[in-house]
Amino acid sequence: MFAMVSTLALAASLIAPVADGMPNFNPRLTCKADATAQDGVAQQTVKQCLADEDDARAKVEAQWSSFAAPLRARCAAETQVGGSPSYVEVLVCLRIGSGLNPQ
């Protein structure tokens, strides 16, 4: 548990100087990791995932400066722990962290 907290603290400290800039993720990698099969359902899943990521990115971009810098840094760091980073996760983190409805 201590190692995880230390890792998050280190990640946040590394990201903090650039917290004013919005994170730049590749949603294609995130969405392809979510769908491993090559059938029609997987293709639709990737398509919906990309649409969700694009929508979330636009919302994060529009609202980014309204959130406190430490919250921005924490949310950008947390989404990169243990998997592919996601704008949907960043948006939910920002909204929950600021007391807003996550949806």
Write the DSSP symbol of residue 97. H
Q: List the chain domain ranges.
A: 2-97
Decide: pTM greater than 0.75: no
Residues in the chain: 103
Q: SS3 of 99, please?
A: coil
Per residue in 33-92, pLDDT tens? 656 555 566 777 888 999 999 999 999 999 999 999 999 999 999 988 877 899 999 999
